[in-house]
Structure 1
Amino acid sequence: MNDKSVLIIAEIGTSHGGSLDKAKRLADAAADAGADCIKFQWVYADEILHPNTGFVNLPGGKIRLYDRFKELEMPPEFFETMRDYVRSLGKSFMCSPFGIRSAEELFALKPDYIKIASPELNHFPMLKRLNELESALPEKKQIPLVLSSGVSQMSDIQKALEVLKPLKKISLLHCITSYPAPPEEYNLSLINLYTKEFGIDAGVSDHSSDPRIVPVLSVVSGGRLIEKHITLSRKTDGLDDPVALDPDLFAEMVQSVRRYETMLPETALAEAQKEFGSELCKTVIGNGIKELAPSEKANYGRTNRSIHFMHGMKKGDTIREKDIGVLRTEKELSVGISPEYFETVIGLKLARNIKAGEGLQWEHTEQGVPPL
């Protein structure tokens, strides 16, 4: 990314459905549409969810969400092939890990960027491991990290950045974890706040259905990165396909961003107001106060990570590392305490019987209270 050009990231995620041919067609479409960077997701179901987390309704019928993620697991060779293919198109390769295993395997491939998705912003064991891996490299060879901040409080962002403080190549994406996300809730002036507060580049991960409003106004608001899902069709069965842009709409977004990024800020704002309306622009740009957006409030604690029991346990048992996991709560399970206490709870004894998948709470332990 040069000093003037916004980095446009085409999020393929798992829309390939496990097909290498489809992954290449998606990459071709993203490159043709003008993306700078093409992104994938390195999924291992047991790094993300407990099998008992609940069900999801898909076009093919009702299925366990855990099983849906199992279907999306791919071997390291798939990502190595796609890394090389994306680079052959003259584009950068980005990928999201979802736990320590996928983070280590991804890091070994030396991607151009590593993306921390919003639900993993508080996956402290993974962040610490990435910090260890990055810190072992000379600064010039460190892999840039891009953190997404959906369904988070300001304190969550601060804690994540504190873990990664030794690293220099970090940027932050403002995000709303809602599918689709209402443009009116985006509060894009937070981009400028993050840049000033943390001294790093910031941008937006946009889950709204519109191809232009949020990306254009993010540029007006000082954004340096834009991430948007791409799909060959919104009617296919990828988890994110309904909120993704087809290639034509993605190209439309890119063209608008490229036009606006050449303008002075005052000119860009005036042009956006003329194009989208002054009131809508004012609403989407927002007040710059970091709060959970209305559409994502119910997800806080459930979409991001907490500590869960991997299997049933009995009163008096001692918690071992293999007994607990840092997982998303999602559908049916109870929420656990923050992953920042993962190492703290190891060795504590249980005060009652525990069900598999249950979120760990302090009252489940004989200690009963968090450490001071």
Structure 2
Amino acid sequence: MSRFKLGSRQIGRNCPTYIIAEAGSNHNGDLKTAKELIDVAADAGADAVKFQTFRAENLYIEKSGEVEYIEDDRSIYEIIESMEMPYEWIPELHDYCHDQDIQFMSTPFDKQSARELEDYVPAWKVASYTSSHIPFLEYLAETNKPTIMSTGAHELKEIAESVDALREAGMSDLVLLQCVAAYPTPLSEINVGVVETLQAEFDVLSGLSDHTLDPVTAPTTAVALGASVVEKHFTLDNSMEGPDHEYALEPGELYQMVSAIRDTETALGTGEKHVLEIEEELYEKARRAIHAVSDIDAGEQFTTENMKVLRPGEHETGLDPKFYDEILGATAARDIQKGDGIQWDDLVNYGS
């Protein structure tokens, strides 16, 4: 797979990295906050801002208990229920994103949420914990939208089963994201090299969904390894109430991440090796060549004493150093001044 279109953007190899600013549920149930998150993502230069669309009753067993990583006395079911995004927000947030020139996305966690989102998102984003829900994946594949799927908390063989199911259901435009399901993820555990593993194993575009606290290291490493998509959580303020704010990037850090990714792309260049225009002066003046280091009279032999391999500076450049041994012992066809670059027609029987 090389590339495909996601909304108005081409994503894939030799395309700019598609950057998803993951707002998730950091709107805290407030539409104004959701729009402020869109503003931040657009100002940072992200390609898309992504929310999450779910209903607790379709996500967790009601008496599901607590989870250790969230410091909250409520059950995980109650927490998730409090984070639900109203379906009626979807068209308004989509239109607001359009006005801010950023793509609207939201992760569906159930069929009803997917139906509500279908007319408003350019692609499906599948969360890690949904990536082995094969009946749901098959449902998404039937809509013929591209799919970006995180792979946290899954083994390679499980990912293979999901990829096979998507492809058998007709999915062709697929991106797999390396992800570690830990919030936050220690930098020592992010394992960005899996970006390359996913490409090689499944012949797909790949990327990174990053939960580390560092805004630059893992995302830029992923880009250097060929990531087509980078996703990272952000918030308006880490001190806001809610389970996802603490490990999310603040606005300045999101801007820093986007800038670092674009700088990394610039530094990576095209991969084609040739002499650049900015190198031309030193190409002429600093590449070493064969030059006379003393006056050489016509009929005199070239020796290690009267010629060396030097940088020419302002002098006309001599022959390449690879010809040095060939010239040794040859006879000068004419007088050569100290500093001159030695040319083929300076040698007896070598001139044209």
Q: Same fold (TM over 0.5)?
A: yes
| Post-superposition offset of 1:265 | 7.7
Match of 1:218 among 191, 198, 222: 222
**Using CA pairs below 8 Å that are at least 6 residues apart, which structure has the higher relative contact order?**
1
Q: Secondary structure at the match of 1:73?
A: coil
Alignment match, 1:236: 240
Alignment match, 1:111: 121
Q: Give the total of aligned pairs.
A: 258
Match of 1:126 among 128, 136, 142: 136
| Post-superposition offset of 1:64 | 1.8
- Contact 1:14 / 1:239 at 8 angstroms: preserved in 2? no
Alignment match, 2:153: 151
- Contact 1:150 / 1:176 at 8 angstroms: preserved in 2? yes
Equivalent residue runs for 1:172-187 within 5 Å:
172-187=176-191
Alignment match, 1:252: 256
Matched AA of 2:254: F
| Post-superposition offset of 1:246 | 0.3
Matched AA of 1:161: V
Separation of aligned partners in 2, 1:98 and 1:230 = 20
Change (3 A) 1:198 1:244: same
Match of 2:198 among 169, 175, 194: 194
User: What is the identity percentage for the equivalent residue pairs of Structure 1 and Structure 2?
Assistant: 34
| Post-superposition offset of 1:183 | 1.3
Q: What runs of 5+ residues in structure 1 fail to find an aligned partner?
A: 135-141, 268-372
CA offset digits 1:277-308 (Å, max 9, x no partner): xxxxxxxxxxxxxxxxxxxxxxxxxxxxxxxx
Change (3 A) 1:60 1:188: closer
Q: Which runs of 4+ in 1 moved over 6 A?
A: 57-60
- Contact 1:110 / 1:143 at 8 angstroms: preserved in 2? no
Matched AA of 1:118: S
| Post-superposition offset of 1:154 | 0.4
Is 1:17 matched up with 2:28?
A: yes
| Post-superposition offset of 1:51 | 1.2
Is 1:162 matched up with 2:164?
A: yes
Q: Secondary structure at the match of 1:203?
A: strand
| Post-superposition offset of 1:228 | 0.4
Equivalent residue runs for 1:1-372 within 5 Å:
1-2=9-10, 3-55=14-66, 62-107=73-118, 109-132=119-142, 134=143, 142-165=144-167, 166-264=170-268
Matched AA of 2:154: S
Change (3 A) 1:252 1:177: same
Change (3 A) 1:178 1:58: closer
- Contact 1:42 / 1:96 at 8 angstroms: preserved in 2? yes
Alignment match, 1:351: none
Determine which structure has more spread, i.e. the larger CA radius of gyration: 2
Separation of aligned partners in 2, 1:259 and 1:45 = 40
Q: What runs of 5+ residues in structure 2 fail to find an aligned partner?
A: 1-8, 272-352
| Post-superposition offset of 1:210 | 0.6
| Post-superposition offset of 1:103 | 1.9
| Post-superposition offset of 1:58 | 9.8
| Post-superposition offset of 1:61 | 5.1
Change (3 A) 1:58 1:237: farther
Change (3 A) 1:59 1:121: closer
